[in-house]
Amino acid sequence: MWLLTRPDIAPRMSYDSTTIAVLRRALDDVLLDARFYRNPSASALEIAEHLLAQAAAGERDLERLKSSAFSKLRGERVQDQAA
C-alpha cells in the first residue's frame, strides 16, 4: 500500500491474526478516546502509521501501543522500542 512507505515502516510487513487484532484494538481505542478529539495534533492515518511502526519494531502489548499513540497525540517524541 503506497501510504505505508515511510522509512520507519517495513515495506513488506506481514503480521499474524493475533497481532492484527491487537493493532486494530489499539487503533479503535485511541480513536474512540476523547483525547484524540481534544488534541488534533495527529490524524487517524498518522496514528495508524505510528502503531504499525511500533509493531514493525516488535511491540505487541496493547497497553504499550496505546500509551505510545497517546504520547504521539501529546506531541511527545516517541521512539520505536519493543519490550
Q: Phi, psi at residue 75, to the nearest 5°?
A: 85, 10
* CA–CA separation, 39 and 76 (whole Å): 12
**Given pLDDT bands bounded at 50, 70 and 90, which one contains residue 80?**
low
pTM over 0.75? The answer is yes
Quick one: cell of 65? Answer: 501501543
Residue 83 has pLDDT above 90, yes or no: no
| More confident: 66 or 9 | 66
Mean pLDDT of the chain: 84
Tens digit of each residue's pLDDT (9 = 90 or more) over 17-41? 999 999 999 999 999 999 998 877 8
Handedness of CA 14, 18, 21, 23 (dihedral sign): negative
